[in-house]
Amino acid sequence: MKGATVVIEKKVVQADFVETESQKEEFEVALSRLANQRGAQMPLLQETQRIYGYLPKELLERMAKALDVPLEELYSTATFYSQFSFVPKGEYTISICMGTACYVKGAGDILDDLSDILKIKSGETTEDKKFTLESCRCIGACGLAPVLKVNEEVYGRLNKKKSEKVLATYQKEA
C-alpha cells in the first residue's frame, strides 16, 4: 500500500491508496477504452473520480503514462475543476452553499453547527468515513436559500434545526 501526500489549506493529509478488484477492473476498462482517444483527459479523470471517489496519485501516474501527457498536466486540469478531489471523501458529502443569498440567510451558521456536530471542519471527513463536510460557491437554488446538498440531494429553506434533521436522517442510514 502506497500513500499519497496532499496539501490542503496548508495542512498535510495522508491518504493510503486502497482499491478493490472491481475498481481495478473498471478502471482498466476505462483506461483502455479512452487512452487512445483525442480529448480523453477529462472523461478519464471523471471516470476515475466516479470509480474511486477521488483521484489517487497512483492512478494519475498510470493515466499520464497511458495518455502520454505529463503528470503535471493532469494535476493542472484536475485542480482547475472543483468536482475533483485528491483525498477520499465520506459516504455522504454534505456541501453547504456559501453563495451570497445562502450566506446572507445564515449558511455560515449552519456550516459551523454541522461542523460542531460532526467534529470536523469544512474540507474534512469523519474518522468513520461516513461524512465529508464542505462549503461550495453556489448550488444554483438561490430561491431556496440557505441550501445544502447531501451527495446529489438538495435541501432548501434551512435553518440550524432543519439542517440538523437532514443530518440525523443520514446518520440513521449510516
Q: How many CB atoms lie within 10 A of CB 117?
A: 16
Whether pTM > 0.75 for this model: the answer is: no
Q: For 92-173, CATH number?
A: 3.40.30.10
Among 94, 98, 120, residue whose Cα is nearest residue 109: 98
pLDDT tens per residue, range 1-47? 455 555 444 444 456 788 899 999 999 999 999 988 989 999 999 99
Sorted by where each begins, the domain ranges of the chain are 21-80, 92-173
Is residue 138 part of an annotated ligand binding site?
A: yes
Tell me the C-alpha distance between 99 and 124, whole Å: 20
Is residue 102 part of an annotated ligand binding site?
A: yes
Is residue 142 part of an annotated ligand binding site?
A: yes
pLDDT tens per residue, range 51-110? 998 999 999 999 999 999 999 999 999 999 878 888 888 999 999 999 999 999 999 999
Is residue 97 part of an annotated ligand binding site?
A: yes
pLDDT of residue 173: 84
Among 81, 82, 169, 167, residue whose Cα is nearest residue 132: 167
